[in-house]
Amino acid sequence: MKIEAAGAILPRFIKRSVPSSPPRSRCKCRERNLLLLVLGTFALICFGTIFYLPDLGEGLWRLERLKRVQKRVGDVGGDLLLPVPPPARGRPGAAEDRRRLYSKAQEAAVPASGGSVAPVPPDPLHPVISGGEDPDPVMRFRRRKIKEMMRHAWKGYVTYAWGEDELRPVSRRGRSAGIFGRQAMGATIVDALDTLLIMGLEEEFSEARLWVKQKLDLAHVTSEVSVFEVNIRYVGGLLACFALTGDALFRDKAEETARALLPAFDTPTGIPYAMVVPATGRAKNYGWASMGGSILSEFGTLHMEFSYLSDVTGQPVFREKVHRVRDQLARMDTPGGLFPNYLHPVTGDWGQHHTSVGALGDSFYEYLLKEWLRSGGDDRQALRMFQLAMGNITDRLVKTSDQSGLTFVAEMHRERLSYKMDHLACFIGGLYALAAAKDPEADTDRYLELGRQITATCHESYDRTATKLGPESFRFTDQVEARPLLQQEKYYILRPEVIESYFVLWRLTGDPKYRDWGWQAAQAIEQFCRVEAGFSGIKDVDSLWPEHDDVQQSFFLAETLKYLYLLFSDSELLSLDQWVFNTEAHPLPIRGANQLYRQTDVG
Ligand code: DMJ
């Protein structure tokens, strides 16, 4: 407020003194007084800012606000208001692709929150897996705030739902998620483990590890669990912890859990069923999925974890299963070059011709590129399929809206386009950018630009709501752009995909606007989703008093908070040159590029 007042004084002072030309002595005296007043105000603010800096809370919130105001007042003394953040240290640049992308981004970027970026080669021998503070005090403050949010989410879960799958933060009880069977299987514990570790929450990590050691036993669950969900959250989470710590407990639990899923693969095609009862091996598909079909985003999202598991256990069975799935897919004709979302595991026929990078399709595309990366470039089949699939998606599904010129990815239903994007589909902005950086044959400029534009569209989907949180789906019609059309599209369940793309784009381009967008989202989550016992999804992103859905999804701790934390960390922390994130944000090491790969030759 003081700064706004100062900003208002300056122009008035200049205006009054010039045209009226008062007597020299009076003018001088008034000038001196005003000047003293302005300088005094600036000195007070600077002193106040510095004084409050060590006091993590208030002072830095104020710094945030000051910074915003500074942006607004522009040149009028702006530099005096805030200390210039120290230059960023050690932004990695070992990979040539990264350097190329980075300098391109620098040309285009309009710095919004300061902090220059100087490429310095990372040390490949010492992957940074915790710490990683950013030199910019604003980023350090934001990161501390995200860590506090993680503590709050965790505490609520520990207090009211320990051992259950998820927390109901409003009614303060546990929630058994169904996708993990009827028994409580501690999904939040396993999903959150690596976030706790990366954030340096050691006590919390230790209590979580103890639960894994004493209680985690998916192999004996007597009800149906989702093969996909168990893989990405449990197997992925445990493997990430094994890589990060070298603690064999995590590897052994990952193996035990993945073994419990293997009966689902016993089909004529090798395409697994969606659900399995671990204790009996009975497997089946969802009744609603196109005539008993398996789902592309589910059976196509196993490769990273299963292949890595084979490498660290020396047991080839896991890799064999997923390679069979891939070989089956690679043999099939794709209608119009697009992969339909359903495939029958017995007949090997496609189901309904519905293609989407949102629900039912999304992470299949993600894993094609990422498994090629994770395998250190070994899995060429994955890269080839990625190039083909994304080439056709880019040609046929990427569209631009009429009024605002927003780029989005449409869906295809039979031969008809549907101009709708799911929140889930927003990961694709980051994926385009990753392909631009890593795929040697990608059209770098085009893919990077698509990554930027689609991410900007997803940001619009947040910015155009009352809460500044994005809806579950948004549309592009004559009436609306990047807005939900139906009431049932308006909910936000703490999903990560938009923030995930901000994170990837920030890492690959260095454009500070992604950090600002991430911070906007974090503040909105804090304002509308935080409740006394944790964080809850909301039912209407357009209501300023939204009703809570009373679920704290485990992916909020695994993904949303982790990506936010990394967004405000130094880029050396879990460098994208050494790690690749599975679809649940669990970091897996890149073979040949990461000392923590921990391959075993046994078996
Ligand atoms: C997560 O479990 C994963 O990101 C998955 O790939 C998609 N859905 C949720 C988050 O929205």
Q: What pLDDT, on the 0 to 100 scale, is given for residue 124?
A: 60
Query: Looking at residue 254, what is its pLDDT?
Result: 98
Residue 362: burial class (beta carbons within 10 Å; 0-12, 13-18, 19+): buried
Residue whose CA is at the smallest distance from ligand 1 atom 7: 424
**Taking Cα atoms as reference points, which of 509, 371, 412, 491 lies closest to residue 453?**
509
Question: Which protein residue has the closest C-alpha to ligand 1 atom 6?
Answer: 583
Tens digit of each residue's pLDDT (9 = 90 or more) over 106-131: 444 433 333 333 444 556 668 999 99
Distance 151 CA to ligand 1 centre (A): 21
Distance CA 145, CA 157 (A): 19
φ, ψ for residue 359, nearest 5 deg: -50, 140
Measured from the CA of 493, which atom of ligand 1 is nearest? 11
Query: In what order do the strands lie in the sheet containing 411-413?
Result: 354-355, 411-413, 416-418
Confirm or reject: Cβ of 548 under 6 Å from ligand 1.
no
- d(C-alpha 45, C-alpha 392), whole Å: 56
Distance CA 398, CA 196 (A): 37
CB-ligand 1 contact for 195 (6 Å cutoff):
no
Per-residue pLDDT tens for 187-199? 999 999 999 999 9
Residue whose CB lies within 8 A of the most ligand 1 atoms, among 559, 561, 582, 586, for a mutation test: 559
Question: Is the minimum distance from the CB of 583 to ligand 1 under 6 angstroms?
Answer: yes
Any ligand 1 atom below 6 A from CB of 594: no
369 Cβ contact partners less than 8 Å away, ≥ 6 residues apart: 382, 383, 386, 431, 434, 435, 438, 439
Ligand 1 neighbourhood includes 460 CB (under 6 angstroms):
no
Cα(293) to centroid(ligand 1), Å: 20
Query: What's the full length of the chain, in residues?
Result: 603
Question: Is 267's C-beta closer than 6 angstroms to any atom of ligand 1?
Answer: no
State in Å, rounded, how far the first CA of the chain is from the last one: 67
Residue nearest atom 10 of ligand 1, based on CA coordinates? 495
Rounded Cα gap, residues 575 and 132, in angstroms: 10
Q: Which residues of the chain have pLDDT under 50?
A: 1-27, 46-98, 102, 105-120, 603
Residue 207 token pair: 């209590």
Distance 584 CA to ligand 1 centre (A): 6
Distance (angstroms) between ligand 1 centre and the Cα of 296 equals: 14
Expressed in angstroms and rounded, the spacing between residue 583 Cα and the centre of ligand 1 is: 6
Taking the CA of residue 362 as reference, the ligand 1 atom at the shortest distance is 6
CB of 290 closer than 6 angstroms to any ligand 1 atom:
no
Ligand 1 pocket mutation pick from 356, 360, 431, 583 by most atoms within 8 angstroms of CB: 583
Distance (Å) of CA 165 to CA 191, 192, 455, 594: 10, 11, 31, 32
Does ligand 1 lie within 6 Å of residue 138's CB atom?
Answer: no
CA–CA distance, 296 with 389 (Å, rounded to integer): 13
CA of 178 to the centre of ligand 1 (A): 16
How would DSSP label each residue in 32-95? HHHHHHHHHHHHHHHHHHHHHTTSTTHHHHHHHHHHHHHHHHTTTTHHHHSPPPPPPP-B---S
Determine contact, residues 243/574, Cβ cutoff 8 Å: no
Share of the chain above pLDDT 90, in %: 78
In angstroms, rounded to a whole number, what is the distance separating the alpha carbons of residues 255 and 428? 30
Task: Please give the distance, rounded to the nearest whole angstrom, from the Cα atom of residue 298 to the centre of ligand 1.
Answer: 11
For ligand 1, mutation pick of 188, 368, 473, 555 (most atoms within 8 Å of CB): 555
Tokens of 357: 């990078």
Ligand 1 midpoint to CA 166 (Å): 15
Looking only at the bridges linking them, the beta strands covering 481-483 and 173-175 are: unpaired
Say what the pLDDT of residue 60 is. 43
The Cα-based distances of 363 to 195, 203, 357, 359, 368 in angstroms read: 21, 33, 8, 9, 9
The residues annotated with a catalytic role in the active site are: 472
CB of 298 closer than 6 angstroms to any ligand 1 atom: no
Q: Is 554 in the pocket of ligand 1 (CB under 6 A)?
A: no
Ligand 1 center to residue 133 CA distance, Å?
27
Which 8-state DSSP code applies to residue 569? B
The reply to whether ligand 1 has any atom less than 6 angstroms from the CB of 231 is no
Q: What is the pLDDT of residue 200?
A: 98
Pocket test for ligand 1, best of 226, 233, 365, 495 (most atoms within 8 A of CB): 495
Q: Which atom of ligand 1 is nearest to the CA of 585?
A: 4
The Cα–Cα gap between 255 and 238 comes to 9
Cα 596 to Cα 588: distance, rounded to the nearest angstrom = 9
Q: With a 6 A CB cut-off, is 586 part of the ligand 1 pocket?
A: no
Nearest atom of ligand 1 to the alpha carbon of 229: 2
* Residue with CA nearest ligand 1 atom 1: 584
Residues 6+ apart with CB under 8 A from 177: 165, 166, 187, 554
pTM of the complete model: 0.83
Burial class of residue 313 (count of CB atoms within 10 Å of its CB; 0-12, 13-18, 19+) = buried
**564 CA to middle of ligand 1, Å?**
16
Q: How far apart are CA 471 and CA 492, in angstroms?
A: 5
